[in-house]
Amino acid sequence: TMMLEAQAIGESLGVRFPINVDRRIKGAGDVGEHKTSMLQDLERGRPMEIDALVTAVQELGRLTGQPTPAIDNVLALVRRLAIERGCYLT
């Protein structure tokens, strides 16, 4: 759902994606077990790139009038967890 929201934002800005979301998800699954950089940062107590990777997409959604309910919810949860663990610098 987050990927669909982000894609809708990009498309509203004129971006044409050559690969659809289902194919991207399959490709990510084909990579196998791995941890994202944000999860690695959280586990190691390092500052997380929440604003650059998620808040920026949310802001583009606001600017383009695209709804981002999934991004909003995940962002709130990730930000809260990062604050609790000292990994989010405000």
Domain that holds residue 60: 2-84
The answer to whether residue 44 is domain-embedded is yes
Structurally, the chain folds into a number of domains equal to: 1
Tens of pLDDT along 59-85?
Answer: 999 999 999 999 999 999 999 999 999
Judge contact between 71 and 6, C-beta under 8 A: yes
The answer to whether residue 80 is domain-embedded is yes
Question: Considering the entire predicted model, what is its pTM?
Answer: 0.89
Phi, psi of 35 (to 5 degrees): -120, 135
The answer to whether residue 17 is domain-embedded is yes
53 pLDDT more than 90: yes
* CATH number of the domain enclosing 62: 1.10.1040.10
What is the amino acid identity at position 15? V
The answer to whether residue 90 is domain-embedded is no
